Amino acid sequence: MNNKFDIAIVGAGVVGCAMARQLTLCGATVLVLEKAVDVLDGASKGNSAILHTGFDAPVNSLEQSCIASGYANYLSHAAELNLPILKSGALVLAWDQQQLAQLPELIDKAHANGVNDVARLTREEILAREPNLAPSVVGGFEVPGEYLIDPWATAHAYLLQAIANGTELLRGTEVLDGEYTNGYWNLKTSAGDFVADHVINCAGLYGDIVDQRLVGESCFTITPRKGQFVVFDKAASDLTTAILLPVPTKKTKGVVVCRTIFGNLLLGPTAEDQTSRVDASTNREALLALRDRGIDMIPKLENFDVTAAYAGLRPACEHSDYQIRHMPDQQYICVGSIRSTGLSGALGIAQYVNKLLVETRFSNQPLTSPVIPDVDRLSNYHPRDWQDQNNGGIVCHCESVTRREIMNALTGPMPPASLQGLKRRTRVCMGRCQGFYCTAELAKMTKGYFELPLGVQHENS
Amino acid sequence: MKIADANQPSPIDVAIVGAGSAGLALAAELKRSGVTRVVMLEREKTAGGIPRHCGHYPFGIREYGRLLKGPDYAKRNVDTAVKLGVEIRNEVSVTELHPQGRLSLFTPSGLESLQAKRVVLCTGVRESSRSQRFIGGDRPLGVMSTAALQSLVYLNGMHPFSRPIILGSELVSFSAIETCRHLGIRPVAMVEELDRVIAQKTILPYLTLRGVPLYAGVHEPKIIGKKHVEALAFVDADGKPQTIETDGIIVSGRFRPEASLLLASHLELDPGSGGPVIDQFGQCSDPSYYSAGNLLRAAETSGWCWREGVSTAKRIVQDLSSAHYEVRGYIRLSTNDPAIKFALPQRLVISNRPGGMTDMQIGLLKPSRGVLKASCGSQCVSVSKINSRPMRRILRPLADILATAPGSDVQLSFEES
Ligand SMILES: Cc1cc2nc3c(=O)[nH]c(=O)nc-3n(C[C@H](O)[C@H](O)[C@H](O)COP(=O)(O)OP(=O)(O)OC[C@H]3O[C@@H](n4cnc5c(N)ncnc54)[C@H](O)[C@@H]3O)c2cc1C
Ligand SMILES: Cc1cc2nc3c(=O)[nH]c(=O)nc-3n(C[C@H](O)[C@H](O)[C@H](O)COP(=O)(O)OP(=O)(O)OC[C@H]3O[C@@H](n4cnc5c(N)ncnc54)[C@H](O)[C@@H]3O)c2cc1C
């Protein structure tokens, strides 16, 4: 391993992963330090998986401009990175007169944000497109450019491309302290010291804490905002085609109903402020309330089974915009409070930070022919490995995951250290049966790969 | 005389999806009755179904006149079928059902399509997951179904935890205690959200014998643990918050049919039972499809499913014999009573075809004592007393209902007494 890097990135959430890719492709030597045993262990673990156009972002905000460029970039690189996209479009729906009155302003805002294809629809037009919606809907508008994507493969592909082109990833490595002297950083971590010219803090839910540790102060304080979700059975995905968004409030985009790229129907998130940065637990009351809200919007949902429930934590703070702070004299950039649009904005954020770096000592020397990583595509709306030859057979029946897909993940350049990680990489155990059928086979296949095994051999066998 | 081309296999008479207790008994019976080609499609590496990993007694008493453990019984079912000439294709998943008996298959050597004169769906049941029961909390490692535990233990010889909590109190929850015993460990508690055990009360001394404390009537169960399960928190029946330390949670029971194929198919599904709509011959809404075993409803014993397989086989043989029956119409049997979960069969054919089921099967959603009424409009068709609970077998004769006029819509309801 290098003993000195151009860039050290703290945190491998979707933002850190996009950052690593951008800077590696621009010729930097990059070190990614992630405290968890796997990447995507923070805010990026659970979200709505929508590629937003940014139609409702504050006009002229940094967030809006990062989403706009992130969005454009995503669409131009998805095919090359084998990332599935599904153009479902979105409908913003008003359920009462007060919300209806807000629509013109929201449409104007979308246009001001350059999302020009946003257009008003009558109640009848909406019901004709989405016949399963409750007739109590009063109006709305369409946002044709919203897409469904794979939230995990997205970040994995960014980081895998970075790794394939030279980035070093260290997991289980928490940045504890650091010092900037003589033009470079000396970072103290739980796994030793590392030296880099620049440090980029992409610590998500810990952005303010990493700021404190490295530069002694932070211009924001994170208040995690939990979002719980209910995932409905695949059969429910026929109930809607568009992403159904409510009229947003100041605090949240509200409860969304949409398909997932994996073929389920997703309902959520809630918005609950909390102090814990780790507590992503769900609770029955909230999940049942979500389900009721879903049935209000789509009455037929009542007849469908639930497949899973999860929660994600948004790195929110007292400010509404992204908190990207450049301290050129310390060669330090904090990319903080990427609250609820980081999946869409990540590539744009990375480009923005790259520009900031160029203003200091860093100069771009783009790789001429960067390596493109091999990422399995797990979409329900695209061809899958099980339909291909020599895949070793299906192990997870509900999600049609093949032996080859599992072995690719386990033996690849960024192997999972836990079942959670394997689930995100392959979708095993993410389907209807939640491990009823394939746990035993997985326990055999993953022997020796995980920090905590699924089972150990016993004497009575 | 035309000589059969050895490379050209003869047409498949019956294809069976799922080689568990019902499918294997059905296949064997078809062969005994002289059906030429019977092909079973089973997605696991070995046939046998759920009993493969039920390493406990009692299985096989009525079927084989012997007391067997699940794995021996499963093997016996497989061996019998194979000996009789049933073709079992393991590691083959049926991925789609098409009209008139055409199936899409995933096989280790690629995708295939298969055509059979009749198809029988025998895909069984699975347990409900924690999400399906809205059990909140963290999402650590160590939360699993009884089936996952049993397969880890009996198929892999593995040990996932050493002091688990069993969530649920059905028969299968008690099997989980037996599985733990096989590992030489004792569950630290059995926890049930309903106010008493779901299995027969007579099983209670068993809990005392095994030293497993029971908490029934609990509220708000919540799983705690960062990487691995650390505890289960809940509010007990007296309203007292409890936290029990544990390293595993067995989320047992609350069976539901494994109806994935049906959900994506042209066949009619009964939202009450969660399985296919069938008539008294086990025939689905597309008459080239039949169904038997626990896919029909959650859940019966293996012995019941086995016998259901045998009787369904007889009906299929009769159907294939090209005898012609005169159909005079259909009767719909349904319910929207909040106490009744399902009633089988959902459709009755009025014809001169013999050999259909003589009883309907009913499942309850809550403990019920009163009268079960079948009515057609304002006319009462039959009345019978009922005093039972969910998860119990309830059978009532079909004769009175079959005697109603073709085109009738018979509704089942329950009146408390
Ligand atoms: C409920 C919900 C719904 C959402 N829906 C969408 C959506 O539909 N579309 C969209 O675009 N966005 C959405 N988002 C937003 C998106 O998920 C976030 O903006 C994004 O995940 C933030 O990523 P991040 O990399 O900044 O933070 P994180 O993912 O939190 O990454 C930070 C990483 O830094 C690591 N770390 C922290 N401290 C240290 C340290 N000291 N040393 C080393 N490593 C450290 C952490 O372990 C973590 O892995 C949603 C978010 C939520 C919660
Ligand atoms: C965890 C558990 C424990 C149980 N313990 C007992 C017990 O101790 N005693 C008892 O009497 N009953 C028990 N039961 C009830 C059990 O359902 C019956 O014993 C019996 O197995 C039912 O037989 P079946 O043929 O309907 O289904 P199963 O035995 O479940 O067989 C279904 C078969 O279909 C296959 N299959 C499913 N989908 C497809 C597909 N798409 N393509 C190809 N193959 C497919 C499955 O792999 C499986 O082999 C238990 C059930 C469960 C879930």
pLDDT at B8 over 90: no
Measure in Å the smallest separation between the Cα of A389 and chain B Cα atoms: 6
Whether residues B104 and B149 fall in one domain: no
pLDDT above 70: percentage of residues in chain B: 98
Domain A86-148+223-315 has CATH 3.30.9.10: yes
DSSP string for A88-128: --EEEEE-SHHHHHHHHHHHHHHHHTT-TT-EEE-HHHHHH
Whether residues B414 and B276 fall in one domain: no
Closest residue to atom 12 of ligand 1, CA basis: A341
Q: What is the mean pLDDT of each run of 10 residues along chain A (461 residues)?
A: 91 98 98 97 96 97 98 97 97 96 97 98 98 98 98 98 98 98 97 97 98 98 98 97 91 89 97 97 97 97 96 97 97 97 98 95 92 93 95 97 97 96 97 96 97 86 50
Q: How far is the CA of B41 from the centre of ligand 2 (A)?
A: 14
- Beta-carbon separation of B139 and A280 below 8 A: yes
Nearest residue in B to A451, CA atom: B227
Q: How far is the CA of B49 from the centre of ligand 2 (A)?
A: 5
When scoring B150, B256, B260 by the number of chain A Cβ atoms within 10 A, the one with the most, hence best to mutate, is: B260
pLDDT bin (cut points 50, 70, 90) of residue B6 is low
Closest residue to atom 27 of ligand 1, CA basis: A204
- Beta-carbon separation of B144 and A435 below 8 A: yes
Instruction: Report whether B256 contacts B115 (CB < 8 A).
Output: no
Whether residues B406 and B265 fall in one domain: no
Instruction: Report whether B218 contacts B234 (CB < 8 A).
Output: yes
User: What per-residue confidence (pLDDT) applies to B114?
Assistant: 98
CATH code at position B23:
3.50.50.60
- Residue A303 in tokens: 């007849």
Measure in Å the smallest separation between the Cα of B137 and chain A Cα atoms: 5
How far is it, in rounded angstroms, from Cα B59 to Cα A268? 45
Instruction: Name the residue range of residue B395's domain.
Output: 327-417
Choose one of B219, B253, B287: the last residue of a domain. Answer: B253
Q: How far is the CA of A234 from the centre of ligand 1 (A)?
A: 26
When scoring A405, A432, A442, A446 by the number of chain B Cβ atoms within 10 A, the one with the most, hence best to mutate, is: A432
- Ligand 2 pocket residue status of B93, Cβ below 6 Å: yes
**Count of residues in chain A:** 461
Q: How far is Cα of residue A441 from the mean position of the Cα atoms in its chain? A: 29
Measure in Å the smallest separation between the Cα of A363 and chain B Cα atoms: 42
Whether residues B158 and B106 fall in one domain: no
Q: What is the pLDDT of residues B284-307, one digit of tens each?
A: 999 999 999 999 999 999 999 999
Torsions phi, psi of B118, nearest 5?
-135, 145
User: What per-residue confidence (pLDDT) applies to A253?
Assistant: 77
- Residues 10-69 of chain B whose Cβ lies under 8 A from any Cβ of chain A: 43, 53
How far is it, in rounded angstroms, from Cα A170 to Cα A12? 10
**Interface contacts A/B by beta carbons within 8 Å:** 138
Measure in Å the smallest separation between the Cα of B405 and chain A Cα atoms: 31
- Residue B286 in tokens: 């597309």
User: What per-residue confidence (pLDDT) applies to B1?
Assistant: 44
Average pLDDT over residues B358-384: 95
When scoring B43, B156, B235, B254 by the number of chain A Cβ atoms within 10 A, the one with the most, hence best to mutate, is: B156
Structural domain spans, chain A:
4-47+151-222+319-359, 86-148+223-315, 385-460
A457 in contact with B, Cβ within 8 Å = yes
Q: What is the pLDDT of residues B341-360, one digit of tens each?
A: 999 999 999 999 999 999 99
Nearest residue in B to A290, CA atom: B134
B387 in contact with A, Cβ within 8 Å = no
Q: How far is the CA of A43 from the centre of ligand 1 (A)?
A: 3
- Ligand 2 pocket residue status of B21, Cβ below 6 Å: yes
Burial class, B11, CB count within 10 angstroms (exposed 0-12 / middle 13-18 / buried 19+): exposed
Instruction: Report whether A125 contacts A153 (CB < 8 A).
Output: no
What's the Cα-to-Cα distance from A300 to each of A179, A221, A239, B32, B376, rounded to whole Å? 58, 42, 8, 46, 27
- Beta-carbon separation of B264 and A235 below 8 A: yes
Q: Is B72 helix (H, G, I), strand (E, B) or coil?
A: helix
Average pLDDT over residues B127-141: 97
Kindly state the helix (H) or strand (E) to which residue A401 belongs, with its residue range.
strand A401-402
Sign of dihedral through CA atoms B116, B121, B122, B128? positive
Q: How many structural domains are present in chain B?
A: 3
CA neighbours closer than 13 Å in the CB half-sphere of residue A67: 30
- Beta-carbon separation of A452 and B227 below 8 A: yes
A195 in contact with B, Cβ within 8 Å = no
Whether residues B93 and B147 fall in one domain: no
A436 in contact with B, Cβ within 8 Å = yes
- Beta-carbon separation of A306 and B134 below 8 A: yes
- Residue A194 in tokens: 């590392």
Q: Is A217 helix (H, G, I), strand (E, B) or coil?
A: coil
Average pLDDT over residues B23-48: 98
Whether residues B113 and B194 fall in one domain: no
B108 in contact with A, Cβ within 8 Å = yes
- Ligand 1 pocket residue status of A269, Cβ below 6 Å: yes
**Geometric angle at alpha carbon B111, from B107 and B115, rounded to 5°:** 90
Q: How far is the CA of B273 from the centre of ligand 1 (A)?
A: 42
User: What per-residue confidence (pLDDT) applies to B212?
Assistant: 97
User: What per-residue confidence (pLDDT) applies to B7?
Assistant: 61
Nearest residue in A to B271, CA atom: A303
- Residues 228-287 of chain A whose Cβ lies under 8 A from any Cβ of chain B: 230-231, 233-235, 278-284, 286-287
CATH number given to A4-47+151-222+319-359: 3.50.50.60
Whether residues B286 and B189 fall in one domain: no
What is this structure's pTM?
A: 0.96
Q: Which ligand is nearest to the CA of A199?
A: 1
- Ligand 2 pocket residue status of B107, Cβ below 6 Å: no
pLDDT above 90: percentage of residues in chain B: 96
- Beta-carbon separation of B222 and A387 below 8 A: no
- Ligand 2 pocket residue status of B24, Cβ below 6 Å: no
Closest residue to atom 33 of ligand 2, CA basis: B18
- Beta-carbon separation of B131 and A307 below 8 A: yes
Sign of dihedral through CA atoms B167, B171, B175, B180? positive
Whether residues B222 and B271 fall in one domain: no
User: What per-residue confidence (pLDDT) applies to A428?
Assistant: 98
What's the Cα-to-Cα distance from A74 to each of A12, A173, A179, A452, B129, rounded to whole Å? 18, 29, 35, 35, 35
Q: How far is the CA of B127 from the centre of ligand 2 (A)?
A: 10
> Helix and strand tally (H, E) in chain A?
11, 23
* Packing angle, helices A14-25 and A151-164, rounded to 10: 30
**Geometric angle at alpha carbon B357, from B356 and B361, rounded to 5°:** 155
Q: Which atom of ligand 1 is nearest to the CA of A313?
A: 53
- Residues 302-341 of chain B whose Cβ lies under 8 A from any Cβ of chain A: none
